[in-house]
């Protein structure tokens, strides 16, 4: 509290915090008295060990989490891994709060921006995010709106809004052919801002002739006159694309264009937050299984039984098709001799 009240600051590169800022890596000081980087803070004279971790969002550093203890060697690599999971979620939460705060200065509390931010903040699954996006754009009465996400192997339609009803198709072919899907994905990945198309008969300069020809086929198929293509981004990485279309010529208002820009950033951050939560939960479960596996192995003294159970447990643990255990005879002979 005293540091906050006094406006405590560090010079660039000073102490553990400065080192982490310069190197964007976590650092542990098991004994601060022996660590050349540690900054002896007069407000924290009892510190004996310290760990500092970078707060990163999409590769961009927004701060540092600094944890100090009065005990020597209070932290180990397991603590660092747990804290790194925490800092990942914390960084995304801070960034999301910043974005909401920036919009708060410009928009009234009744605007769709606020409703969208609240829904993103309380989303528990990616589908919650998709529904929030499509519910928001539905206020502008598009003929059709759908979200394409970039999966590990291929893009897929995550959600589709048509005739006021929301659908969650399992395959992209339910909506369009692979070539048209690829055009939208390629164009969306090349965008840094939403692409607004008031009239499909008048292509913007950013679209190539080939891309426009494919978009024209898509527009003809769905009877599109106006459209918007919105990249769902986290910093420089595109996670997916939102496509909205109108059968009649649609005049995009400045509020609507601003909403698409906000959607482009906030939806990506919301999806990344959920991914970090899933990754953390998976890591915790894997560590729990490993601890159980280790405890079981320690209780077995018979080598053939231990090998058999170890192979069975490992197969389940890593979801493998099979496990092969090979023991060298020389090693066994040496152990028997000892």
Per residue in 209-248, pLDDT (tens digit) is 777 777 777 777 778 889 898 999 887 788 889 999 898 8
Measure Cα distances from 158 to 183, 202, 242, 273, 316 in Å. 17, 29, 10, 18, 30
User: Could you tell me the end-to-end alpha-carbon distance of the chain, in angstroms, rounded to an integer?
Assistant: 61
CA distance 230 to 116: 16
Burial annotation 4-43 (CB, 10 A radius, 16+ → b, else e): eeeeeeeeeeebbbbbbbeeeebbbbeebeebebbbebee
Please give the structure tokens belonging to residue 46: 């009892």
Q: Which residues of the chain have pLDDT under 70?
A: 36, 101-111, 170-177, 180, 329-338
Helix H or strand E encompassing 56: strand 49-57
pLDDT at 232: 92
pLDDT at 31: 83
- pTM to 2 decimal places: 0.55
Measure Cα distances from 79 to 19, 55, 132, 319 in Å. 19, 16, 36, 27
Which burial class, exposed, middle or buried, applies to 215 when counting CB atoms under 10 A from its CB (0-12, 13-18, 19+)? buried
Alpha-carbon Rg of the chain, whole angstroms?
A: 27
pLDDT per position as a tens digit, 6-58: 888 888 888 888 999 999 888 888 887 777 677 788 888 888 888 999 999 88
pLDDT at 172: 52
């Amino acid at each position: 509290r005293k540091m906050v009240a006094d406006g405590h600051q560090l010079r660039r590169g000073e102490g553990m915090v400065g080192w982490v800022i310069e190197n964007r890596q976590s650092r542990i000081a098991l004994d601060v008295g022996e660590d050349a980087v540690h900054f002896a803070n007069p407000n924290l004279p009892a510190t004996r060990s310290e760990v500092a971790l970078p707060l990163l969002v999409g590769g961009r550093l927004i701060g540092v989490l600094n944890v100090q203890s009065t005990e020597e060697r209070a932290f180990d690599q397991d603590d660092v891994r747990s804290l790194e999971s925490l800092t990942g979620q914390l960084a995304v939460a801070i960034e999301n709060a910043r974005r909401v705060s920036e919009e708060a200065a410009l928009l009234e509390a009744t605007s769709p921006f606020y409703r969208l931010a609240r829904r993103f903040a309380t989303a528990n699954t990616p589908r919650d995010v998709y529904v929030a996006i499509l519910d928001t754009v539905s206020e502008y009465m598009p003929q059709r709106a759908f979200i394409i996400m970039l999966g590990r192997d291929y893009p897929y339609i995550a959600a589709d809004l048509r005739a006021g009803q929301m659908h969650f198709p399992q395959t992209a072919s339910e909506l369009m052919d692979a070539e048209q899907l690829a055009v939208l994905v390629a164009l969306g990945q090349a965008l840094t801002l939403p692409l607004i198309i008031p009239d499909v008969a008048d292509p913007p300069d950013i679209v190539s002739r080939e891309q426009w020809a494919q978009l024209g086929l898509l527009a003809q198929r769905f009877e599109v006159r106006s459209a918007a293509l919105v990249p769902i981004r986290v910093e420089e990485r595109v996670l997916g694309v939102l496509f909205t279309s109108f059968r009649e010529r649609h005049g995009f208002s400045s509020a609507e264009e601003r909403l698409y820009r906000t959607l482009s950033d906030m939806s990506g951050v919301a999806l990344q937050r959920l991914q970090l939560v899933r990754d953390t939960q998976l890591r915790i479960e894997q560590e729990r299984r490993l601890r159980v596996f280790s405890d079981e192995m320690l209780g077995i003294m018979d080598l053939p039984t231990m090998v058999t159970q170890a192979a069975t447990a490992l197969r389940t643990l890593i979801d493998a098709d099979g496990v092969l255990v090979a023991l060298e005879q020389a090693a066994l002979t040496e152990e028997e001799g000892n």
